[in-house]
Amino acid sequence: MSETVERLGAFISASPTPFHATAVAAAALRDQGFEELPVTGTWGEEARGAAFVRRDGSLVAWNGARRSAVDPMRILGAHTDSPGLRIRPDPDAGRLGWLQVAVEVYGGALWNSWLDRDLRLAGRVAVDSGDGVESVLVDSVTGVARVPQLAIHLDREVNSTGLRLDPQVDLTPVWGLGEPAAGDLRSYLASLADVPVTSVRAWDVGFVDAQPPARLGRDGSLFAAGRLDDLLCVWAALEALIGSRSTEAPTDAVLVLVDHEEVGSETATGAAGAWVSHVLERRHDALGGSRTDLLAALAGSVCVSADVAHAVHPNRPERHDPRHQLVAGGGPAVKFNANARYATTAVGAAEFERCAEAAGVPVQHYSHRADIPCGSTIGPLTAAGLGVETVDVGTPILSMHSARELVAASDVDLLLRAFESWMGAP
């Protein structure tokens, strides 16, 4: 178990942004003999075996076990993005001796958790190479900025009346001293990317918690890290796909990693976009199947939509439905919602529970309180977009959307075992 959590920690540390996450996943897949297919251009025989295609923060991969054109697929999907602070296009700010970087909040971040943390800058830079635009990953690796909270002496009521933050005013990080000058951030990005400053055209760059993942608890039973939502599921799904790769594998297992879940998924590489179905169509075409064959295969397929769930909070158990309080260390949860905020149907739930049981993994059930609005995830979008039976599954965590979240170390192992069974099951 200890080794499992360490592998997850290494993946999270190497993946400060969706672009990094898919780059790390691509390297792991290439290492295991998966063929990388071009985003543009026609796919041929090489799409028949274990292969993948990567575009920005999204990646689709399969294990090469498909036998016929109408074979049903076992799909496992997760999202690569996490809430955080994104740097604005004209970011050079500051006053009164402080250098600052103008940011915008990405997704439903718990704002207070971003205060007084060492922040690491990472993302991708669009570089003009002379005859085109090239995307270069950048990462400060260590902390370079911080959003300073007002001292208690200057905000006397904060503990009694609650912390109120205006994202336009209170979340701008400091990252140095002096007078701001236009081009400060651009030249910093150029130095990280190791390119001339004049070639930096634009960027998708943000701040994440710089603190490395860590084991906690008196016996190391807890694991704290940024971006557990949803890199925990991304990592487990990736390992499960790699594990399923074998000529004897009975299942056509497909891994789907998508970006922009935290902002609604309606983007070129999000779950609500056309990208994933385009990839499946191109794959089917390369494998000699018709579009009708693909539609038949999809009609018989099942998708696990993997995203974290809410573990019961010991200080606020009343925030959870009393009959659906997820126990940390109790295994993955299947998420249900009568109004389809989760896509799970009885059949999908039964399929997943069957696989989990075969691996000796206990399964819990999640259902949100009726008087608190329920979140959602990529499940309903995959179900609708692909017309595929979908089950929403997730590991219980605490502090979802905080800059640093908390999970039971044993749940990491249970999720991986359940996914391995899912991807390898007949």
Instruction: List residues binding Co ion (CB under 5 A).
Output: 229-230, 307
DSSP letters for 354-403: HHHHHTT---EEE---TTS-----SHHHHHHHHT-EEEEEE-EEESTTSS
Q: Give the nearer residue to Co ion in terms of CB position, either 66 or 310.
A: 310
Kindly state the tokens that stand for 343: 């896509």
Q: Give the nearer residue to Co ion in terms of CB position, either 229 or 392.
A: 229
- Cα distances from 108 to residues 25, 69, 376, in angstroms, run 25, 41, 12
Q: Give the nearer residue to Co ion in terms of CB position, either 234 or 249.
A: 234
Closest approach, Cβ 276 to Co ion, in A, equals 17
Closest approach, Cβ 57 to Co ion, in A, equals 14
Q: Give the nearer residue to Co ion in terms of CB position, either 144 or 311.
A: 311
Residue 290: CB atoms within 10 A of its CB come to 12
Closest approach, Cβ 333 to Co ion, in A, equals 13
Q: Give the nearer residue to Co ion in terms of CB position, either 209 or 229.
A: 229
Cross-strand partners of 259: 270
Q: Give the nearer residue to Co ion in terms of CB position, either 136 or 306.
A: 306
Helix (H, G, I), strand (E, B) or coil at 43: coil
Say if residue 178 is exposed, middle or buried (CB neighbours under 10 Å; 0-12, 13-18, 19+): exposed
Closest approach, Cβ 305 to Co ion, in A, equals 10
Closest approach, Cβ 81 to Co ion, in A, equals 8
CA–CA separation, 79 and 262 (whole Å): 9
Q: Please, are residues 290 and 70 in contact by the beta-carbon 8 Å criterion?
A: no
Cross-strand partners of 333: 364, 394
Closest approach, Cβ 107 to Co ion, in A, equals 9
